[in-house]
Amino acid sequence: MNPIIVIPSRLASTRLPDKPLAEIDGAPMILHVALRARAASLGPVLVASGDQAILDALAGHGIEGILTDPALPSGSDRVHAALREYDPEGRHDVVINLQGDLPLIAPDSIASALMPVAQEGFDIGTLVAPVDTEEEAERNSVVKAACAFTPGRPVARALYFSRQPVPWGAGPLWHHIGVYAWRREALVQFVSLPPSPLELRESLEQLRALEAGMSIGCAAIDEAPLGVDTPEDLVRIRQALRS
């Protein structure tokens, strides 16, 4: 494999305006994410954004940016557009779509997302972590992956994703983390498809891939990294970096 990491980012956010530029420990959040991606040492790191201010925030740090059409509907579309511009020859056969609101993600976790496509032949790899509390299980902002790990197998097939606690019954629940390792041809197929019924119902883009028959493999990490969706999340991240 010859992977590349692309971080889609945009200023528009209803709950936290200008979120990628939010200051954390003296640097904008998007730079924290990009530097952690670079520390994974998997390949080039690009930030794909329709907002020049985000790319300007990366200046002087050795992180490349691609200015994409601001009208693109999703992060996956931004990743695909940036990849076409940066690598039209198709040298990079796997692309990691890393969300720009995970400033504390461990570089090793980013690398783990490759495991399903590298070792198990899935179209898409992603990450899950154990759900630890009932509150986390019931919170609809925490996406749950319906998957089951068997002894000796580090990757589990994703059967469904939901904002509800699935599957029902005794046993572990898995918190889905929005990091995807795409085979390039799977990403090309995905962005050519219209939004699917279950995707629209759950407001979860990955369901489009499952409804189209693509396979998603989950690699487990110990703990879900703190993400930033609200001003309260930003306070928690700042405190975590100071501690």
pTM above 0.85, yes or no: yes
CA 126 to chain centre: 8
Instruction: Provide the mean pLDDT of the chain.
Output: 94
pLDDT at 13 over 80: no
Cβ-contact 176, 126 below 8 angstroms: yes
Which position has the higher pLDDT, 119 or 134?
Answer: 134
Cβ-contact 75, 92 below 8 angstroms: no
Cα–Cα distance measured from residue 63 to residue 55, given in angstroms and rounded to the nearest whole number: 9
pLDDT > 90 fraction of the chain, expressed in percent and rounded: 88
pLDDT at 152 over 90: no
Cα–Cα distance measured from residue 192 to residue 207, given in angstroms and rounded to the nearest whole number: 15
Q: What per-residue confidence (pLDDT) applies to 108?
A: 96
Q: What per-residue confidence (pLDDT) applies to 138?
A: 95
Cα–Cα distance measured from residue 105 to residue 221, given in angstroms and rounded to the nearest whole number: 11
User: pLDDT band for position 187 (50/70/90)?
Assistant: very high
